[in-house]
Structure 1
Amino acid sequence: MSDTALREAICRQAASIYQRGLTGGASGNISARTEDGGLLVTPTGASFGFLDPARLSKFDADGNHIEGDKPTKEMPLHSAFYETRSTAGAVVHLHSTHSVAWSMMPDIDPDNMLPPLTAYAVMRLGKVRLLPFFVPGDPAMGDAVRGLAGKRSAVVLANHGPVVASKDLEAAVYAMEELEETSKLALLLKGANPRMLTDGQVRRVVDKFDVEWD
């Protein structure tokens, strides 16, 4: 995808996320790989509803900021995913309500925080890791992601929000939406003793779609 097309795609996806209330104000950030190995990144303090393609932050393949507005302060998160996951073509971070709310619930498994409610959550996300609370912009967030050694494509920062990496921008947005919807289901069903996928059913999905799970 050309630089121009990628800029437009980032702004289009961001506007859709904003219009559907998945992140508000100036929260959330997106990055995506360019054809030359660099990155396009949403600027700090910018609303997803009103991004200007020409003002996106651009980094070269060596990680130098070469044009555009000042990038998001959450760059340590994005950089950590690109450094540890060679397949990462885009990273999306939101402050979406239901996934943040689920991160605050007691007694959830931090290594696999989402209950196995649907096949699509397993397919698009694998196991989602709950990370502890960090002050926004703290480089330690990146260190926490690096500590996973590339074994997770999705994490949720406690009391903050989810971060998802995938092969391209569209896939990352779809996976993020699945994380938010699964968190919503988990909250709706909390205490209701729902029928979840069995271990055998999860394994069939994992094997069929070659999901990172172990």
Structure 2
Amino acid sequence: MLIMACTQSVFAAESGGIAVGATRVIYNAASREASLSVINRSGAQYFLIQSWVDDASGSKNVPFTVTPPLFRLNANKENMLRIIKKSDKELPGDKESVYWVNVKAIPPAPAAGDGQNVLQMAIKTRVKLFYRPAGLAGNVSDSPGKLQWSQQGNDLVVKNPTAYSVSFNNLSVNGKDIKDANLVLPQSEMHYKIPEGAGHASTVKYKCINDFGGLTQSIDMAVK
């Protein structure tokens, strides 16, 4: 029997019976650690849970570690991941930094039978990790309303002048949805192609995701 391993990356709070307790983790600098719960809701099957932190490019050379990095999680059980800062060297003190917590659920190998090939799926969930230094200017809840919008050629440009990251749940320009809007890092800007039929960008409408995974009220802004 040949067992094939396949990994599927998802951006969800629950996959294959394994759930994580949040869609984002906020690591406040004043805290010694942050935590994320992992729950096995499969009913009967155990999983091996492997976890780590990486950056947007997938590099594991980051100033955070996760413990325990590997453990068995039985059916209907829960365990807590502890995310611990290893160093301050790579972390700016004047704005948030964003990393990813990865939780891979590896099912047990299926029982041998009839010499058939078996496809074994390992499900990976990625959750944003926001490291928030102490004493940042402004308030995180005000950040979505402080975004600055402009048009450059066929691009809609959003500038984030705040010290906080802003995550979009949805974004439209002149009533036309922009599908790839996701995250604007602090003190940076993003460019999005203006959808066909939107015409010259005049207004944007969007909702953002707050610290608790909920949505902000809808925001309407003029494009300047």
Q: What TM-score, normalized to structure 2?
A: 0.26
Higher helix share: 1
Q: What TM-score, normalized to structure 1?
A: 0.27
Higher strand share: 2
Question: Between Structure 1 and Structure 2, whose CA radius of gyration is higher?
Answer: 2
